[in-house]
Structure 1
């Protein structure tokens, strides 16, 4: 029972009870407001009289006042059960993207921003304001504002609008993908009932009579590729999943051509050069060298790991009396990695999962944040939701009945102040966002009257539902994922910036993953993991023996996994840095993806068994490429340098050191994107970051 102190947040939670018409009207009002303020700024200033206070500040203030509703309206396309609401949300998102391009390409605003930027040395700006000014000026330049007025700039704007539309269309295709493969129950032999209950799958009719449908959600794809004994089943599913949104392939081709055209038009060498110039890395050649260096370092390890799996497959085929062609294929990796865990480490993932019922594990994770960061979490029951709801109706502050709402506070020792709201939507549904992510649905900021607007953030995941009389259970890798995404949510909640512009995770794209990646280490710390555990039936803690076995698998096939990430990052950089515009037009992205995956990982795919090099369009399924990570996927690996350095420096010896945790909260999390991330890291580490601990963690130092 929450104490009275934590029962009455000073701010009500947001509502999600929009009709499609209200979504449309709401976004139109926001657009009208933002345009009006921009016009007022222009009417009341000139480039000569423009200051941060009379030009940038009013625009920021309007963003603050509208951003919460804006984010929530556009968020609903990912999670709402009503198709009409999702469609209205999608259209609203498109309108906001168009407005963003329109405002970003207003020369009258840019003239004033440039004048302020040119005189910033004498402007006496605080760190956050100076950081915002630098970022704003850079974004105007990247948006083509150095182009001459007239047809050239008009064409640039037209292409930007088309890019925005195409990216939204591609993401929507991913969200609404409902495909699958029809198999007989016999073809799914080997998959534990606790992972996929064949009896619960959609039953086929007509040509598919006697078959069941294996969809492409994580909760199906992961266990199928890990457990299905029949290699043909795994191969057919792997190929079908790779081609699940082939309508995105021509869209992606158009996107990379438009990105290349507009980057060159804006004066950059290519799109990678443009985007990376505004990130921590600054230089695309530096990024390519970084990926190439890691590839060289882990290459031999990858070959050794493949050899181990190949030997396991050889033994397996001999035991089953099957002919073995001497190869390990992409659809074999998950299957034989699981067998390797069982044989070499005596580790059964499902046995481990029995000690990690999802909700108990999640509340244990909250307990870690309470100890480390001085927080307190209160789950709102139906009565509390109704009492706090602006409408008096508990259902209006969630978008689905399954959503859990928590109020988040500083603990009593830290002052007991309110921090914000955490929303949890953790299981898969039809037409729901299919991956695991955190969404900001209301950034924090300081209001005009000096009081604080508190943030709201949503954890949207796709973990298996309760089944077979058991609660939802987390495999260890799923626990790592949950902790990672929760880390993004905590970053979003505890940030304390003046403006919503740089709140929470609004940091450089190649740093944004670092805080969450660092937290993954807690799930590889024996004492912490034991503390999180509670057998779903007996409540017993996981045994030391089982934890020891699990710890030994931390770096299992890590070289292969690292090479897989490098392959994706290399593809991303390759398509976004062609030698010429003619070169990008000639790209065959499906072929390129399949070539790079094979060359870099060393694992063969369908091309090796007669399907040809154009057998799949995996790149068309990667939402990152159309969702902000374009020429930025390298950031997952790049930010690991920072995350590993932070963990080894501050937490390796004592992961539950509350003093170190609060220092981390103050120097990193609370600052959001309000200052140069390099300076932030220097202040936290006490030195420049370096990759030594990153390579040490990979076993490569």
Structure 2
């Protein structure tokens, strides 16, 4: 195997270079499409039609990823805007190309010319490629009459524009709440010192999660929590119009999706999306959420009773009135108080053992051991920001370099506001025998170090770190021929399972000791008795927390199975109260910042819980039994689950790894419910 010489990616692109790169991708792609479209029907085959299209994807995927990635991470607004413009143009070109009837006709001719014997002689991945390319064209409406094809094309372009604008508003939102320090009772001094000030000297609490979530958990002043939550849930009002109101000649995004699905012959958008997922039908996904919701209600009711008791005790102690309710702004606060008072788990004390340096070093070591890998940090790496670290990944046994990844872990203005893995270059094979090494980036917003303290992570942030790096490992460990199957390009309701499974290491006592080291008392790990209490509290409010996930999934599926336009603000409020058993913040529009619904998870949010079922089954029935650092189990996981990427059905990979079909038993057990249920 020859590795591509272009090992390192170029992130030092200015506006003009980004624009030129976008044009180059479009020009080369159009040339290939025109060449394939010109192949006579009699000469259409896998080699003359399917292979050239796939080889183009192998080249263009990495180029596109870099060009569009910079909108999320560059500290230069002009570069971010240019990257966004390229993204928009590429999406528009992609929609246009996916609607080319001449290309679809060549694929149909290639299928007609391929005998069953010739098809069987192709490799498994090539056969899957053939099927997927043909299905993609059909799902893009190429079997429709011309008028309907053109109508679908318009709808798709509108949706692409709306998705980009929706995300831009969320990413660039600068909402903050000005508060006096007296309103921040209970907040740590280092957290307060990390807040900027306005002209009057008040502290500014932003909606970025290093500000928002600590305040919701620790601020003793109920009115402050209420004020900040209101600000958070009433952001980006223009996005409400994107979801549900017509804008000029355009229809809203939900209606666009519904109309597109109807044109293609599907009952609704959810039915269209789920056809190519593990669930297969919207009925299966809805039934899954409803069934789990029913099982969780008794548990959640008990959890709410406990939280009300904790609230009553605190209010009585402080001599304050008590409304007897767990309000939206109370949930995080009293959950934290319960954790500290009855489980003796104090997140603020625990985070002193989880400095960014100790967690990163410990986590990388665990991943090296479990997956039989070796990580080496690149000195003075070619990156997009000085804070970014870059690592070379090698196979531990052979020493062969298999990829690179980047860590961009702290917030800054204009940067993507959540935690995510971005695939930057797929590992794939070129026609001349060269192989591209995969590259991926983990982007997060963990608190920055201060003058007297390093960046300290709460345990849930350690878990987030493990999860997102799990996605990175999925990208790095995948080895396929075709880019479209690389890494996390699996069914969307399975994509979270490999990373969710790796979160379990954050609950293993021996692993937590390896990850931890007190930031002052260097080398002192988290005490074992503290670890035991943390593990005991693992399922604290599991009912309520999973109902929250069911709420998001139910909202998503409801709007995407509806036969008519909905008031998303009213629906959000109604479902939140019905499903989560807590009231929604009045006069807010939470759906306006529900990024998943416009960021690729439309009709797919249920997948987080769906995939949790598989992650629990993999961990409890392989790693937990065979050893969490068992190299044989880890290598099975690397080769059977991560390695194939999307080149096989997830159900087949799970069956191979588990030795049977998955069940819900392990998941129910993992959250404290011992019931048994088959999927």
Establish whether TM, by shorter chain, passes 0.5: yes
Aligned pair 1:146/2:143, yes or no? yes
- 2:16 aligned residue (18, 21, 44): 21
How far apart are 1:433 and its partner, in Å?
0.2
C-alpha distance in 1 between matches for 2:664 and 2:172: 40
Which of structure 1's runs of 4+ aligned residues deviate more than 3 A? 8-11, 114-122
How far apart are 1:132 and its partner, in Å?
2.0
Aligned pair 1:78/2:50, yes or no? no
- 1:434 aligned residue (398, 417, 429): 417
- 2:280 aligned residue (258, 261, 282): 282
8 Å Cα contact 2:194/2:450 also seen in 1: no
Give the 3-state SS of the residue equivalent to 1:652 in structure 2.
Answer: helix
- 2:206 aligned residue (215, 229, 247): 215
Aligned pair 1:618/2:590, yes or no? yes
CA distance 1:694–1:30, change in 2 (3 Å): same
Give the 3-state SS of the residue equivalent to 2:353 in structure 1.
Answer: coil
8 Å Cα contact 2:7/2:437 also seen in 1: no
What's 1:573 paired with?
A: 557
Aligned pair 1:532/2:510, yes or no? no
Mapping of 1:447-462 within 5 angstroms? 447-462=430-445
8 Å Cα contact 1:356/1:533 also seen in 2: yes
CA distance 1:21–1:120, change in 2 (3 Å): farther
What's 1:389 paired with?
A: none
Where do 5+ consecutive residues of structure 2 fail to align? 245-251
C-alpha distance in 1 between matches for 2:337 and 2:451: 24
- 1:604 aligned residue (571, 583, 586): 583
Give the 3-state SS of the residue equivalent to 1:555 in structure 2.
Answer: coil
Q: CA RMSD in A?
A: 1.4
What's 1:130 paired with?
A: 127
Aligned pair 1:648/2:648, yes or no? no
8 Å Cα contact 1:407/1:421 also seen in 2: yes
Give the 3-state SS of the residue equivalent to 1:497 in structure 2.
Answer: coil
8 Å Cα contact 1:131/1:676 also seen in 2: no
C-alpha distance in 2 between matches for 1:186 and 1:77: 38
8 Å Cα contact 1:306/1:603 also seen in 2: no
Q: Deviations over 1:199-242 (max 9, x none)?
A: 4423223xxx3422110000000111011111111111111101
- 1:595 aligned residue (568, 574, 592): 574
What's 1:101 paired with?
A: 95
8 Å Cα contact 1:354/1:473 also seen in 2: yes
- 1:680 aligned residue (644, 653, 671): 653
How far apart are 1:603 and its partner, in Å?
1.1
C-alpha distance in 2 between matches for 1:210 and 1:69: 46
- 1:490 aligned residue (473, 479, 488): 473
- 1:238 aligned residue (207, 229, 238): 229
- 1:247 aligned residue (228, 235, 238): 238
Aligned pair 1:183/2:179, yes or no? yes
CA distance 1:312–1:69, change in 2 (3 Å): same
8 Å Cα contact 2:4/2:437 also seen in 1: no
8 Å Cα contact 1:446/1:452 also seen in 2: yes
What's 2:490 paired with?
A: 507
Give the 3-state SS of the residue equivalent to 1:354 in structure 2.
Answer: helix
Give the 3-state SS of the residue equivalent to 2:414 in structure 1.
Answer: coil
Q: Deviations over 1:304-338 (max 9, x none)?
A: 11111111111111111111111110110111111
8 Å Cα contact 2:39/2:106 also seen in 1: no
C-alpha distance in 1 between matches for 2:332 and 2:220: 11
- 1:307 aligned residue (294, 305, 308): 305
Aligned pair 1:37/2:10, yes or no? no
C-alpha distance in 2 between matches for 1:73 and 1:10: 20
Where do 5+ consecutive residues of structure 1 fail to align? 1-7, 386-396
8 Å Cα contact 2:73/2:416 also seen in 1: yes
Mapping of 1:353-364 within 5 angstroms? 353-364=351-362
CA distance 1:351–1:120, change in 2 (3 Å): farther
C-alpha distance in 2 between matches for 1:89 and 1:9: 25
Q: Deviations over 1:407-464 (max 9, x none)?
A: 11111xx200001111110000111000000001111101222232101110100100
How far apart are 1:137 and its partner, in Å?
2.3
How far apart are 1:187 and its partner, in Å?
1.1
* TM-score when normalising by structure 2: 0.95
C-alpha distance in 2 between matches for 1:131 and 1:699: 40
* TM-score when normalising by structure 1: 0.92
How far apart are 1:605 and its partner, in Å?
3.0
C-alpha distance in 1 between matches for 2:136 and 2:285: 21
Give the 3-state SS of the residue equivalent to 2:442 in structure 1.
Answer: strand
Mapping of 1:255-404 within 5 angstroms? 255-382=253-380, 385=381, 397-404=382-389
Give the 3-state SS of the residue equivalent to 1:57 in structure 2.
Answer: helix
Aligned pair 1:543/2:539, yes or no? no
8 Å Cα contact 2:616/2:667 also seen in 1: yes
What's 1:393 paired with?
A: none
Q: Deviations over 1:254-312 (max 9, x none)?
A: 11010011111111100001001111110100110000000000111111111111111
C-alpha distance in 2 between matches for 1:518 and 1:320: 42
Q: How many residues align?
A: 660
